[in-house]
Amino acid sequence: MKELDELKEIFLSDVDEELKQENLQQIQEWEKSLRYNKSLLSWQEHDISKDILVEMRKVYKDLSLTLLENRNLTDEQRKSLWAKQDACLWLISLLSKNARENIDQIQRDIETAINATK
């Protein structure tokens, strides 16, 4: 990313060692977050991931209906269904994270930092 290289040039030269370390740490955090969110976005946009999301929503709904309609479930059966719902929710939350928004926010933060030096 061109802006990140520009940021490194500005924030890592002609500064004292303490400030340089702080700047380097922030830049590394942005780089790591950008890599993570770009990878996540690529994974989320894959057809298989989209299919999994659709299936998890369906399974969660079916589990909810079973819990609602079947009053003869034992405590163990209810706990098992709740555990399956928790697993579905975890996958849904992972597949529904807004990676694009995170990437855009990091890029805005980098641009703001560059503009503050001009």
The domain ranges of the chain are: 2-115
User: What is the reported pLDDT for 48?
Assistant: 96
Q: Which of 1-15, 61-75, 96-110 has the highest mean pLDDT?
A: 61-75
Q: How far apart are CA 99 and CA 65, in angstroms?
A: 31
Residue 92, C-beta contacts closer than 8 angstroms, at least 6 positions apart: 53, 56, 57, 60
Tell me the pLDDT band of 17, cut-offs 50, 70 and 90: confident
What the block records as the tokens of 18 is 């303490």
Say how many residues make up the chain.
118
Residue 2: burial class (beta carbons within 10 Å; 0-12, 13-18, 19+): exposed
Q: How far apart are CA 64 and CA 90, in angstroms?
A: 15
User: What is the reported pLDDT for 116?
Assistant: 84
